[in-house]
Amino acid sequence: MIRLNLSSQPEWLDLAPGLRLKLAPLTTALMVAARADPDLAALPEGAAQEELALAMAKAVARLAILDWEGVGDAEGTPLPVTPEGIDALLDIWPVFEALQTRYVARGLILDAEKNAFAPSPTGPSVGAKAIAPPAKAPAPTAPQE
């Protein structure tokens, strides 16, 4: 069953001690806009999957992060949300991983919930139904002398 959250309001997400992000809902429109990010298009042909994943994560974050608490400069002065700041924040591995698992993965889990049945196995006869009863083995014959 798909559980719909019909709220289109941003929500605060605690990612780490002292770090909170105000995030827009993870919608199809947000994901489509992230895929159109110029940084993704600027990646070279044949870029590694890791490069693509990081660029996509940053594109999603730049669209989704509306505000934050607990992000500051080297002196501890709070910083405003900027695209450059978001990219720098995601360069911190625990923050990147927390955002991926606690925000983006919710969308992936919802996608997985769409299918109430286990996936079929792969192969040329997947899902094929027998249309004739199985053939019976021939009756044994008496040995010939």
Q: How many CB atoms lie within 10 A of CB 60?
A: 26
- At 8 the pLDDT is 80
Is the whole-model pTM more than 0.75? no
- At 117 the pLDDT is 43
Q: Is the pLDDT of residue 140 over 70?
A: no
pLDDT band at 4 (very low <50, low <70, confident <90, very high): low
**Residues near 90 by beta carbon (within 8 Å), at least 6 away in sequence:** 54, 57, 58, 61, 96, 99
Burial class (CB in 10 A: 0-12, 13-18, 19+), 87: middle
**Domain chopping of the chain, boundaries:** 11-113
Q: Which tokens in the block code for residue 113? A: 């919930």
7-21, 34-48, 124-138: lowest mean pLDDT where? 124-138
Packing angle of the helix pair 49-64, 28-35 (nearest 10 deg)? 130
Residue among 18, 108, 95 nearest 61 (CA): 95
- At 119 the pLDDT is 47
Q: What average pLDDT does this structure show over 40-65?
A: 94
Widest CA span of the chain, in angstroms? Answer: 102
CB distance 23 to 10 below 8 Å: yes
1-10, 41-50, 90-99, 132-141: lowest mean pLDDT where? 132-141
Give the distance from CA 76 to its chain's centroid.
32
Cα–Cα distance between 136 and 103 in angstroms, integer? Answer: 56
pLDDT in tens, 57-115: 999 999 999 999 999 999 999 999 999 999 999 999 999 999 999 999 876 555 444 44
Q: Is the pLDDT of residue 135 over 80?
A: no
CB distance 112 to 3 below 8 Å: no
